Amino acid sequence: MSGPFLAGVVAGYGIAVPVGAIGVLIAGLSARISLRVGAAAGLGAATADGIYALVAVVGGAAVATAIAPVATPLRWAGAAVLLALAVWTAWGAVRRSAVTERAERPATAVRAYAGVLGLTLLNPATVIYFAALVLGSGGAGGGAWFVIGAFLASASWQLLIASGGSLIGRFLTGRRGRLITALVSSLVIAGLALQLLATG
């Protein structure tokens, strides 16, 4: 149990720690809305990592080979979603700053979870990453423990990002601070979407 579990923990941190568009989105949701919504988004990302770890353990190289022909369309779809999200975030921030400050909550915890889960699942590199780790370690021995370890590691990191976003949000509670964080988040997400397109 301990060997596959620890391998899963290392794999989970390996895929979760590099802060990309999803990390920025999670921190931004915590800062602009609430820790609860940011944490739900983080758990959505961790669930996707767990699903891909499970797929890799069960399917291994066959899954990676099957996804390879559609990797480019998935990359384009992911970039399109990111660009739409960047525009939506910026538009919503500008619109909210022009309106009297009401407790507007454009995202609920359930919607944040489902949205980030779907967005993270659009990344074919994640399943290829997990498949390579599983095959490199000699197959799917202790597969359930590997998946649990990967999920828990990813979840702990995503919740740390959400908590960090929540702390930043406490310092930037004014309308202007929230506008700035939303616009910066939007620019970073758009930049990462363009980078995703450039690698295609």
Condensed to tens digits (0 to 9), the pLDDT of residues 80-131 reads: 776 776 787 777 767 765 544 444 445 689 999 998 998 888 876 666 666 6
Query: Residue 199: helix, strand or coil by DSSP?
Result: coil
Tens digit of pLDDT for each residue in 17-73? 766 678 878 888 888 888 899 999 999 999 998 988 887 777 765 655 666 676 677
Name every residue whose Cβ is closer than 8 Å to that of residue 142 and which is 6 or more positions away in sequence: 1, 3, 4, 5
138: left (phi over 0), alpha (psi -120 to 50) or beta: left
CB atoms within 10 A of CB 73: 11
For the entire predicted model, the pTM comes to: 0.66
CA distances, 117 to each of 5, 41, 122, 168 (Å): 23, 8, 9, 24
